[in-house]
A and B are shown apart, each in its own frame.
Chain A
């Protein structure tokens, strides 16, 4: 009896709010048709997909595609590259926006501070294609400004884009150039919440600028930092394949081929759909494990987590 009444109330609430559901409809339809429906297609990783048979009509092959992946010539290379580039990227590009925000926050002149922030966001608005184009031109051994500078200081021109061992540095440093300013926004807004009276009290008590930063400003933004760490680790292995593809050259392939670019090549260039999907699934699984591990660790240390 009570249950029935409850259901009726619930139904009434839904009917009453039909307009809200109508507002949700385009967004929900989109994720069902364009995000969830493709997930159903992941099963081709366990099949031998043929266009004429379709997704469900193709033959089951179990873990064959994965076995092929793990035994392939490229597997150790792409796994190593994915991990080294990802980890180097995380270690170098994560702390900089925090340091930049803390340092710029100390500027007393609001106008200077705002100009600096504006300029620091500019690289974010440059497209990946253009950014990579700039990298290639700047590092050119014959005419690039970076090599001109190296030669000016007595060094020898380096063919940055041709050397596999240079790739990770090119990737990470250009990413730092493009992303540091933009990533710092969130820390600037977190710093706006610092208690001004606390800073004044510390100043009267004789705390130096550096001490005020370390013991007041930094602790205030620690929750923001820990959330950002979890998010960054969650994205660890989803390196932008777009950027890697744009910076790849055949001589540097041994240092630049990552799982995501491999997925793209075997899938859309060689049409091995099932094999490519299996490689992609392997990448997402690694990502998932990293995300859960990172969340558990940060939760233990900072009592903050994504869930």
Chain B
């Protein structure tokens, strides 16, 4: 009798737990997803319905006029092209600099390994700061060139550590020694033995660096002056911060003028929503497919060593 009672009590507690947990997680799910859905819906809705709050989840008055406007906006396409260039070339340079270095540092027979590693780790906590870094870039004559974006952040210490840990733990030393016995040079060893076994870490590195380049704004704002070099994010910033109509400061305009201004600001808002969609779509479409890789990357990185 007593044991039975305890059993029932336990399941009740379990039920409460599952319900509360379910509510919490659903709330979390909704909060994470809602802003993204809202932007998607707003980009294809009637702008008046959006600004009046009639549209709050699914599109109201479906149309794609906003996207047609965006298509005609030339700066966005040059920005897009630049961003693709910075992302592709930048990520390749990142990988070429990071992967071989990480491999070399994973080798226990490398003299001075600890010293070199310390050099890198120090850069995680100390830097020259904004102005000295800017002056340095300017001293090399790289300000207002594409190189400023490609070279800044060429090797991320965190990424280097992640890749090094991966090599140290996943490539058996016996395999490497066997390759040497077969007469392979170290470069051949890296290219033909180590890299084919390292696909997960290369994908992780490419993703980390790639996302960084795709979303890069601050460096571009600091270093670039010419519009034709601007990546998408700088163009986006210009468009997104174009002033919103404020309720105050409208005295002195006729009702018709105010209505016209309101209409214009509403269509401008719709265009903003479209631009947001256009810029975030590639990343949001790619990352779910790479999920298992980046979870792995974080896991490797969290192993101290």
Contacts and interface: CB of A to CB of B under 8 A. Distances in A.
A19 B136 contact: no
Interface of A: 10, 13-14, 17, 19-21, 23-24, 26-28, 30-31, 33-42, 44, 55, 100, 103-104, 106-107, 116-123, 125-130, 132-134, 136-138, 140-143, 145, 148, 151-152, 177, 180-181, 185-186, 188-190, 206, 208-210, 224, 227, 234, 241-242, 245-246, 263-264, 267-268, 273, 276-277, 280-281, 284, 288, 291
B295 A127 contact: no
Nearest to A162: B246
A130 B53 CA distance: 21
State the main secondary structure of chain A at its contact with B: helix
A250 B127 CA distance: 30
A143 B50 contact: yes
Given A133-B272, A137-B269, A145 B244 contact: no
B32 interface: yes
A127 B53 contact: no
B110 A20 contact: yes
Interface of B: 6, 10, 13-14, 17-18, 21, 24-25, 28-29, 31-33, 35-36, 38-39, 50-53, 56, 96-98, 100-101, 103-105, 107, 109-112, 116, 119-120, 123, 125-137, 140, 151-152, 154-155, 160, 185-187, 190, 211, 214-215, 217-218, 222, 233, 236-237, 240-241, 244-247, 266, 269, 272-273, 276, 279-280, 283-284, 287-288, 291, 294-295, 298-299, 302, 304
Contact of B31 (A19, A24, A143, A177): A177
B303 to A, nearest CB: 10
Given A24-B105, A206-B10, A264 B130 contact: yes
A137 B47 CA distance: 13
Given A129-B240, A137-B272, A177-B32, 5 more contacts: A41-B128, A116-B29, A133-B272, A141-B246, A276-B130
A38 B254 CA distance: 57
A118 to B, nearest CB: 5
B6 A34 contact: no
A191 B230 CA distance: 43
A263 to B, nearest CB: 5
Given A31-B155, A119-B29, A273-B131, A19 B222 contact: no
A17 B110 contact: yes
B109 A133 contact: no
12 contacts: A17-B110, A23-B100, A35-B128, A38-B136, A107-B25, A126-B280, A134-B35, A136-B240, A152-B53, A185-B298, A208-B17, A246-B217
